[in-house]
Structure 1
Amino acid sequence: MPIKAQDQTLTLMTYNIYHGEDPYNLGNSNIKEIAELINAIKPDFVALQEVDSMTNRTKGFNPDGKKNLMLELEKLTGMQSFFAKAIDFSDGGYGEGILSRHPAIFESYDLPTPKGGEGRSLAIAKVNLGNRDLIFAGTHLCHEFSENRTAQVIAAHKILKSIGLPIILTGDFNFTNEEKGYDILSEHFIDAALKVGKPKNTYSSKEPKIRIDYFWFDMNSEWEIESVEVLDVMHSDHKPVVVKVRY
């Protein structure tokens, strides 16, 4: 009889960081506070949305000049960082990021925008945990058009499925559970917050009226979701979500 690989508990986090600026105290960076939160939680993987890299915008609230936010977080957390640029912006880049406590191979994919609007990307970390492999992926879907979000969900699923590894997909999806994109994902993935109980709203951090930040786990793999927590902090306009999963 084959011996089953030893399960381990992973701590996962997603956070839309509002391009590294405190939305309730404009002109001030929020990166130190976000790094302190990450260091307190000690996650294995973090997906970050609304990430700036060397933009003039970051120079506006950092007195020592432009910032690559993922490299700043790498320095402050000791985790490996990856930036997946979605668009050129403000003489720099804007997109998604991943922090990993484990050695990872990173990839970035552009997602479709059939209705036009702002470009979006899918950031992927391929990880070997010693006895098991997985994909940790983060994205930020279109905030303008539901048609774009639907197309992006379909494209992201196709990309991830083609890799052939167990999938964790997370990020800011900019939809509620009443939208077509949610239904499509639900055909292939487990909505972690729904699985463990009554989901909590994630936006805005000051007045959380809707849930648009999610963790999704593919249905074909053996996940034991232990907890889903929406943290009550206001470093950004979104609340971070932290999941513990046994795998």
Structure 2
Amino acid sequence: MYYRLIFLNLFLLISLSNQAQNAKELTLMTYNIYHGEDPYNLGQSNLRDIAELILEIQPDLVAFQEVDSMTVRTQGFNTGKKLDVVNELGKMTGMQSFFAKAIDYSEGGYGEGLLSNLPVSFKSYSLPTPHGGEGRSIGVAEVEIGNTKLLFAGTHLCHEFEGNRKAQVEESIRILKESGFPTVIAGDFNFTSEEVGYEVISEHYTDAALDFGDPQLTYSSKDPKKRLDYFWLDKGSDWEIVSVEVLEVAYSDHLPVVIKVRLKD
């Protein structure tokens, strides 16, 4: 009996140790970057500041909103040359990059950007606009985390119509749930917690900042009055939220949000 108890205790210790090792901590970031231009000093790029911030934080995955790719607009803050903004940030930080175009714009494209420090494959999906207005997209990174996979998605919902935001949330949920993988959705959702779109997504995903406690405002960066930027964690997976932080930097008109989470097996 004595030896059986010793064996059982050793088994439990090994099991707990393996669980701790398998619960890898991830650092995730979302940032609306105002198409790569300093909103308070127009004509000047904000990319170097953003890249240096990323290098300091060392996130595993990043979602960007308001991203330009090879537009005429980027010539104004890139010495007259068109610029693929997310590709440039990828080169500056040494991370894999992906552009998820939402619309054709200014001879190029405009949409979402993703960066990854993990083994990854990327996809892009269009989101509905039943009330008209500007097209929207969701970029999805499928990454390998130990012996499982994770979806990390970034989006920017319609700024004009509440009905569009609701439809875009519903379509995002449908797209992401098909995989069956643990999922994080990040981005600029252009709603507050009083809106129907927030209610819809809350049925399936946890608002990380609210769950962690004392969620901070994110817009605008110099005088925050609203919380528009979120991380959502799917309710079907076992998440531990380690930290949630809104960074007080004015490189864009939004503030970046950084969270640390563990996904338990």
Matched with 2:192 is: 176
Structure 2 spans left out of the alignment, 5+ residues: 1-10
Shift of residue 121, structure 1, vs aligned partner: 0.2
- The residue type paired with residue 102 of structure 1 is L
Matched with 1:73 is: 89
Shift of residue 64, structure 1, vs aligned partner: 4.5
Deviation track 1:131-160 (CA, whole Å, cap 9, x = no partner) reads 221100000000000000000000000000
Deviation track 1:5-60 (CA, whole Å, cap 9, x = no partner) reads 71110000000000000000001000000000000000000000000000000001
Q: How many residues align?
A: 247
TM-score (norm 1): 0.98
- The residue type paired with residue 140 of structure 2 is I
Matched with 1:12 is: 28
Matched with 2:62 is: 46
Shift of residue 163, structure 1, vs aligned partner: 1.4
Classify the secondary structure of the residue corresponding to 2:225: coil
Mapped to 2, the partners of 1:158 and 1:142 lie a distance apart of 18
Mapped to 1, the partners of 2:212 and 2:171 lie a distance apart of 27
Mapped to 2, the partners of 1:151 and 1:64 lie a distance apart of 39
Deviation track 1:63-95 (CA, whole Å, cap 9, x = no partner) reads 151100011001100000000000000000000
Matched with 2:5 is: none
1:147 aligns with 2:169: no
Matched with 2:7 is: none
Mapped to 1, the partners of 2:237 and 2:179 lie a distance apart of 14
TM-score (norm 2): 0.91
- The residue type paired with residue 207 of structure 2 is D
User: Within 5 Å, which residues of 2 pair with 1:117-128?
Assistant: 117-128=133-144
- Among 106, 116, 124, the alignment partner of 2:132 is 116
Mapped to 1, the partners of 2:22 and 2:185 lie a distance apart of 23
Percent identity, please. 64
User: Within 5 Å, which residues of 2 pair with 1:79-94?
Assistant: 79-94=95-110
User: Within 5 Å, which residues of 2 pair with 1:126-145?
Assistant: 126-145=142-161
Mapped to 2, the partners of 1:223 and 1:240 lie a distance apart of 21
Matched with 1:192 is: 208
Structure 1 spans left out of the alignment, 5+ residues: none
Matched with 2:50 is: 34
1:24 aligns with 2:24: no
Classify the secondary structure of the residue corresponding to 1:60: helix
- The residue type paired with residue 169 of structure 2 is V
The answer as to whether partners of 2:67 and 2:112 remain within 8 angstroms in 1 is: yes
Shift of residue 129, structure 1, vs aligned partner: 1.8
Matched with 1:203 is: 219
1:221 aligns with 2:237: yes
RMSD value, Cα: 1.2
The answer as to whether partners of 2:208 and 2:244 remain within 8 angstroms in 1 is: yes
Mapped to 1, the partners of 2:86 and 2:145 lie a distance apart of 23
Which has the greater radius of gyration? 2
Deviation track 1:157-212 (CA, whole Å, cap 9, x = no partner) reads 00000111100000000000000000001111110000111100000001100000
Mapped to 1, the partners of 2:87 and 2:227 lie a distance apart of 29
Shift of residue 130, structure 1, vs aligned partner: 2.6
